[in-house]
A and B are shown apart, each in its own frame.
Chain A
Amino acid sequence: MDSRSINLRGFAGNAGKNIMQGIGGFVFGNERSESKEDSYVERFLDRISNGTISDDRRSAMTELQSLVAESRSAQMSFGAMGFPVLLNVLKEDREDVELVRGALETFVSALTPIETSQGPKTEVQPASVNSDLLSRETENISLLLSLLSEEDFYVRYYTIQLLTALLTNSLKRLQEAILLIPRGITVLMDMLMDREVIRNEALLLLTYLTRDAEEIQKIVVFEGVFEKIFSIIREEGYSDGGVVVQMLLKETIGFDPLIAILKIRRGSAFNFTQQKTVNLLGALDTVELLLMGGGSSGEPGKDANKTTNQTALAQKNILDHLLLLGVESQWAPVALRCMALRCIGNLVLRNPQNLDSLASKQVGEDPHVQPALSAIFSIILRTSLAQEFVAADYVFKCFCEKNPGGQALLASTIAPHPNQAHATFGATTDMPFGSILLQALVSSDDNGDMEACCRASSVLSHIIKDNLQCKDRVLQIQLETPAPSLGRTEPLLHRIVTCLSIAASAEGENGQSGQPEESYIQPVILRLLIVWLVDCANAVDCLLESAVHLNYIIELASSKRYSACVRGLAAVVLGACVLYNASREKGRDAFAVADAISQKIGLSTYFLRFDELRKRFAHSSSGQQNRKQLSRSSANSMSDFQEIEEEEINKGDQHPVLSEIFDSHFVSFLSKLETDIRDNIMDIFSRTKTATAIIPAELEQKNGEVDGEYIKRLKSFVEKQCNEMQKPSSGRERVQIESLRQELEGATRRIEALRAEHTQIEAEASNQRNLAAKLESDLKSLSDAYNSLEQANFRLDSEVKALRQGGSAPYPDVEAIKAEAKEEAEKESEAELNDLLVCLGQEQSKVEKLSTRLAELGEDVDTLLQGIGDDTALPDDDDDEDEDDE
């Protein structure tokens, strides 16, 4: 006990106290309030230090902690007197976990600044004075570090917090102290393997601790901090890791080393060893992680994070490194180039500054300098790997998203090159971007290979997406017809339909040769058409100028020769021709298109195409996930990248280009379009053909309308329509109407049958339910009756007992009375019992009957009767006994 009885005033005599009091007096001025806090703090400290009852010491600690947490003057008083006492607790009372926790928590409170509104701003924070005091002795830090190996979670947790608090106030001193303690850093590093809460605190602590301290940095590296951090990132699930991963990457590793890894020297012997490739892939992976904002976009916090990272990385000239890797290093492994291209896309996506710098960037060395975007476009045209095409295409997609200025810039150069006729494919560096694009769009080699056209189409669709000006601009482009002798020109849009048909016929041949993979050429061109037609009446008008086009697309949508994807997309093109049709010219207006659809495809078949397409979407989105995982593993694995590449392409039957087209944006865009198209087509038919102007909504059953009425109404509607239709009596219309009527009638019949069935089932079910309820209530009253009977019996019994106890002497005839009463009671109860038995018998037979019926109807009788069983148990037993009596 002696060691603990510390004379507090004795400590007050040391230098610390004098300083503290000096500052305290200066700061607070108010002597009285200070002395009040002072005396409280002193009293608590005395109880902690000299107390013998553990509970009292603990409660004193709790009170001290809350006082220190609330008041600055208490913080000051605690700083002046409390440190030795509490440090002593930490040293000597380790077994009293609660007290140690309290002491640590008190320290944390004493080091946490308390904001006050009053007082001058220059005022010294007691928290920082305390922090200075605590960090002055290396021994204290050593003591705290030793607490990190304690069993108790909260002890470790508060200790880490305390160290962090010390760090914010006295960084240099703590850094020095920790270096002086053998294994000081090692202990902190071990905390990275602790439970998540502590691990995260320790991460923050180490992050601050390593700031501007080279020796500490070296030790943490020696202790394998990078391995540990990467393993945490792995644990946190990479991009799903959110805040922790973001923090790790940004705060701990920092952008500079990341970019240092990405720097490769131009012209040096580009020697991409496996290890180097793995490193670069890892770095690019990390960059992508930073640019994706740790998850899907949409959450405001993450988007802000993303933008910050985009800007920060761009300031470090990452674009140059990425371009060098993705565009100029054609000898680098393809996985690396693709990853770099994706990073370029993510770097510029929706970031005005970065978009501008990509637009103005030049690549290559004199004299072969060309704009970066042109160079990326050349990759699209040149590459033999679908994977690389997709990655380069992604750059354009990102560049064009929400960037009308950039789209206009690209579109403005699209014009036939004066030397187009002579320019050979390949010598294109001096041609403007648009001319190369146009050349690729209309080119087709002798074998009808439309690969170049398809790739250019994909880029063009990004350029005109959601941009009416660009759509109109590109629409005005006139090309010489393939047979120039005719001396005519045709719009670009027409040429693209021609290309589509060439691709289709080439496809047909390939299909017969049994090629397993589904081609992406037609879908990509069809996507261009869809993007173009949407919202653009001029484009629709232009497309419908020639009846051949419409017929061709109808054929695409209807013929079994084409894949579900092509048919579905063709159906969407047709829908767009209806939806965005502003023409009043006969034969080219919305009705004409809708009419052609219903006539040549049939409306139900037509809408079926959308369903098939939707099924493809579901398929392709899962394909996309596959791809992502693979590229993830490729960063870690040492296997040959060429192999990975092939594996990726052959994974499932989904072509990577197709999964790229059907990204989630396009899918949701198509779904919306589909709904509009459905509505619009239905609308057109009802509006133009029925004088009564029944809108499709009337085909639905009204709220509260009885089935019979509904059916009647439908019939009359159909009849009316029939009559209407016979009037104009154009042959093909009649055929169409007939088929429509048949469809309707069929549907009506089906509905009728289903409804009848449904009603019948429902009636039966409710019948059964009622019966069951009645049965239940019957049984309940039965059991009630029995209960009251038993009570009566009991009462009588006790009466008898009482009478017996009352003694037979004063009332000699009590036996007789009792016998009489008993007889009477028995008679009564017998009568009642008989009634009950009759009741019960009836109920039982009812139950049996119902059970069989229910079972017939497929109901689970046991479950139905489950609740009831509890009630029936009692009377049933009784029943048996009574039978025995009889």
Chain B
Amino acid sequence: MSYAYLFKYIIIGDTGVGKSCLLLQFTDKRFQPVHDLTIGVEFGARMITIDNKPIKLQIWDTAGQESFRSITRSYYRGAAGALLVYDITRRETFNHLASWLEDARQHANANMTVMLIGNKCDLSHRRAVSYEEGEQFAKEHGLVFMEASAKTAQNVEEAFIKTAGTIYKKIQDGVFDVSNESYGIKVGYAVPNASGGGAGSSSQGGGCCG
């Protein structure tokens, strides 16, 4: 399948917040209540459409455990977008957000789009972090915010697609040099007349081997 752009995402956040479940829900539209611990990094992909253009999302699901942090860091630079996930029922996962952001600031490219996700919003009876707190944190750090549930699929599509929309807009605004693939954006072969903006994006036709 051809695409106009390929975006590389990473999903980060503490262990057990439901990163792998979010990915599974988004790529396979199913929920798996018991999920093995992610070792290192896993990977998934899905096509979406933005502005009538096919866009491929390549999503790298990282391990939340501290012992894998260094491995995870290797993925920051090459990612165009990141979903930073916490668990609304576990306060400590929210408290760690700052350290995750610090990591991202240090290793990611400056233009990486970060989306904050408060996961497990179906468990509102066990809520430990309010919506407002999440919203407030996002505002302070310039993130897009959303509460979602990997179990009910609520807001899962929206989270990924909204992030993609933000990246797409950045491309249109010429923020990225899309010819440099190290920013996690790749121009596909079926480039439909790159309307305005995107610097040098049209000259790449036929260049990919995927």
Q: Residues of A with Cβ closer than 8 Å to B?
A: 179-186, 190, 214-215, 218-219, 222-224, 226-227, 230-231, 273-275, 282, 636-638
* 18 cross-chain CB contacts under 8 A: A179-B70, A179-B74, A182-B73, A182-B76, A183-B74, A183-B76, A183-B77, A186-B78, A218-B41, A222-B74, A222-B78, A227-B208, A227-B210, A230-B209, A282-B209, A637-B206, A638-B2, A638-B206
Q: Once the chains bind, are B71 and A179 in contact (CB under 8 Å)?
A: yes
Q: Is B34 interfacial (CB 8 A cutoff)?
A: no
Measured between beta carbons, the chain A residues less than 8 angstroms from B139 are none
Most-contacted residue by chain A among B76, B77, B207 (CB, 10 A): B77
B181 in the interface (beta carbon within 8 A)? yes
Check B181–A219 contact: CB distance below 8 A.
no
Find chain B residues with CB under 8 A from A182 CB: 70, 73-74, 76, 106-107
Task: Known A179-B70, A183-B77, A227-B181; judge A222-B41 contact (CB<8 A).
Answer: yes
B43 interface residue (CB < 8 Å to A): yes
- Residue pairs across A and B with CB atoms within 8 Å: the count is 66
A770–B43 Cα gap in the complex (Å)? 87
- Binary CB contact string for chain B from 49 to 79 against chain A (1 if under 8 A, 0 otherwise): 0000000000010000000001101111110
Query: Interface extent on B, as a size class?
Result: 20 to 34
Q: Do A222 and B8 touch across chains, with their CB atoms under 8 A apart?
A: yes
Interfacial residues of chain B within 1-26, with CB under 8 A of chain A in the complex: 1-2, 8
Q: In chain B between 184 and 210, which residues have their CB closer than 8 angstroms to a CB of chain A?
A: 186, 189-190, 206-210
For the complex, give the distance between the alpha carbons of A230 and B74 in Å.
Answer: 22
Query: What's the least CB distance linking A241 to chain B, in Å?
Result: 15
Contact flag A184-B74 (CB < 8 Å), given A215-B40, A638-B189: yes
**By the criterion CB–CB under 8 Å, are A215 and B209 in contact?**
no
Closest CB in chain B relative to A542 CB, distance in Å: 55
Output the least CB separation between A113 and chain B (Å): 31
- A215 close to B41 (CB less than 8 A): yes
Return the chain A residue nearest B60 by Cβ.
A222
Measured between alpha carbons, how far is A517 from B184 in the docked complex, in Å?
A: 51
The answer to whether A275 and B206 touch (CB under 8 A), given A180-B70, A638-B190, is no
A182 to B209, alpha carbons, bound, how many Å? 28
Identify which of residues 23-43 in chain B touch chain A, using a CB-to-CB cut-off of 8 Å. 40-41, 43
Interface residues, chain B, with chain A CB atoms under 8 Å away: 1-2, 8, 40-41, 43, 60, 70-71, 73-78, 106-107, 181-182, 186, 189-190, 206-210
Q: CA–CA, A517 to B190, complex, Å?
A: 36
For A218, give its contact among B40, B77, B181 (CB under 8 Å): B40
Whole-angstrom distance between the Cβ of A842 and the nearest chain B Cβ:
75
Nearest CB of chain B from residue A658's CB, rounded to whole Å: 31
- Distance A273 CA – B1 CA, assembled complex (angstroms): 8
**A223→B78 contact, CB < 8 A:** yes
Contacts of A183 in B (CB 8 A): 73-74, 76-77, 107
Residues of A near B206 (CB, < 8 A) are 636-638
Known A185-B74, A226-B210; further 9 A-B contacts with Cβ < 8 A: A179-B71, A180-B70, A190-B182, A222-B78, A223-B182, A224-B181, A227-B186, A274-B2, A638-B190
User: What is the bound-complex CA distance between A183 and B70, given in angstroms?
Assistant: 9
Give the Cβ gap from B44 to chain A, nearest Cβ, in Å: 13
Across the interface, name the chain B residue whose C-beta is closest to A275: B1
Report the separation of the CA atoms of residues A181 and B1 in the bound assembly, to the nearest whole angstrom: 36
Distance of A186 Cα from B109 Cα, bound (Å):
13
Q: Which residues of B contact A226 (CB under 8 A)?
A: 209-210
Task: Give the docked Cα–Cα distance between A414 and B181 (Å).
Answer: 60
A224 and B70 contacting across the interface, CB-CB below 8 Å: no
CB nearest to A176 among chain B residues: B70
Which residues from chain B contact A273 at a C-beta distance below 8 Å?
1
Q: Bound complex: CA of A538 vs CA of B181, how far in Å? A: 68
Residues in A whose Cβ lies below 8 Å from that of B77:
183, 186
State the CA gap A182–B77 with chains docked (Å).
10
CB distance from B39 to the nearest CB of A (A): 8
- Minimum distance in angstroms from B149 CB to a CB of chain A: 28
B78 — which chain A residues lie within 8 A by C-beta? Answer: 186, 222-224
Q: How far is the CA of A282 from the CA of B209 in the complex (A)?
A: 8
A275 to B3 CA separation, bound complex (whole angstroms): 11
B43 touches A218 (CB 8 A): yes
Q: Taking A219-B75, A226-B209 as contacts, is the C-beta distance between A181 and B70 under 8 angstroms?
A: yes
Most central of A182, A185, A274, A638 by chain B CB within 10 Å: A182
- Among A179, A180, A218, A222, max chain B CB count under 10 A is at A222
Interfacial chain B residues near A218, Cβ < 8 Å = 40-41, 43, 60
Contacts of A219 in B (CB 8 A): 41, 71, 74-75
- CB neighbours of B209 from chain A (8 A): 226-227, 230, 282, 636
CB distance from B63 to the nearest CB of A (A): 10
Residues of B within 8 A of A275 (CB): 1-2
Q: Which 9 A-B pairs have the closest CB atoms?
A: A182-B73, A230-B209, A215-B40, A180-B70, A219-B74, A218-B41, A182-B107, A636-B206, A185-B74
B155 to chain A, nearest CB (A): 26
Bound Cα distance from A637 to B73, whole angstroms = 36
- Write out the residue numbers on chain A whose beta carbons fall within 8 Å of the beta carbon of B182: 190, 223
Instruction: Give min CB distance, B189 to chain A, whole Å.
Output: 6
Give the docked Cα–Cα distance between A184 and B206 (Å): 31
> In whole Å, how far is A175's beta carbon from the nearest beta carbon of chain B?
11
In the bound complex, how far is the Cα of B207 from the Cα of A226, in angstroms?
Answer: 12
Chain A residues with CB below 8 A from B2, complex form:
274-275, 638
Docked CA distance A186–B8 (Å)? 15
A187 to B2, CA, bound (A): 30
Query: A215 and B71: CB pair below 8 A?
Result: yes
CA distance in complex: A144, B175 (Å): 33
* Nearest CB in chain B to that of A274: its residue: B2
Nearest-CB residue, chain A, relative to B107 = A182
Smallest CB separation, B54 vs chain A (Å): 12
Q: Which residues of B contact A190 (CB under 8 A)?
A: 182
* Chain B residues positioned under 8 Å from A636 (CB to CB): 206, 209
Q: Report the Cα distance A638→B206, complex, angstroms.
A: 8
**Min C-beta distance of A212 to chain B, whole Å:** 14
> Inside 8 A of A184's CB, which chain B residues have their CB?
74
Quick one: closest B residue to A282, CB to CB? B209
> Nearest chain B CB to A34's CB is how many angstroms away?
40
CB-based contact B208/A222 at 8 Å: no
The CB with the most chain A CB atoms within 10 A, among B74, B106, B181, B208, is that of B74
Closest Cβ neighbor of A185 among chain B residues: B74
Please give, as numbers and ranges, the residues of chain A lying within 8 Å of B71 by CB-CB distance.
179, 215, 219
Please indicate the chain B residues that have their CB under 8 angstroms from the CB of A181 in the complex. 70
Instruction: Report B-chain residues with C-beta under 8 Å of the C-beta of A637.
Output: 206
Report the separation of the CA atoms of residues A231 and B210 in the bound assembly, to the nearest whole angstrom: 12
Docked pose: A223 CA to B78 CA in angstroms: 6
Q: Which residue of B lies closest to A186 (CB)?
A: B77
- Of chain B, the residue at the smallest CB distance from A233 is B209
Nearest CB in chain B to that of A182: its residue: B73
State the Cβ distance, A688 to closest chain B Cβ, in Å.
66
A666–B106 Cα distance when bound, in Å, is 65
Interface centre among B2, B43, B78, B181 (most CB of A within 10 A): B78
Q: Quote the shortest CB–CB distance from B193 to chain A (angstroms).
A: 16
In the bound complex, residues from chain A placing their C-beta under 8 Å from that of B210 are 226-227
Q: Are B70 and A222 in contact (CB under 8 A)?
A: no
Residues of B within 8 A of A215 (CB): 40-41, 71
Q: Which residues of B contact A179 (CB under 8 A)?
A: 70-71, 74
Provide the residues of chain B in CB contact with A230, threshold 8 Å: 209
Cα of A274 to Cα of B78 in the assembled complex, Å: 28
A97 to B206, CA, bound (A): 42
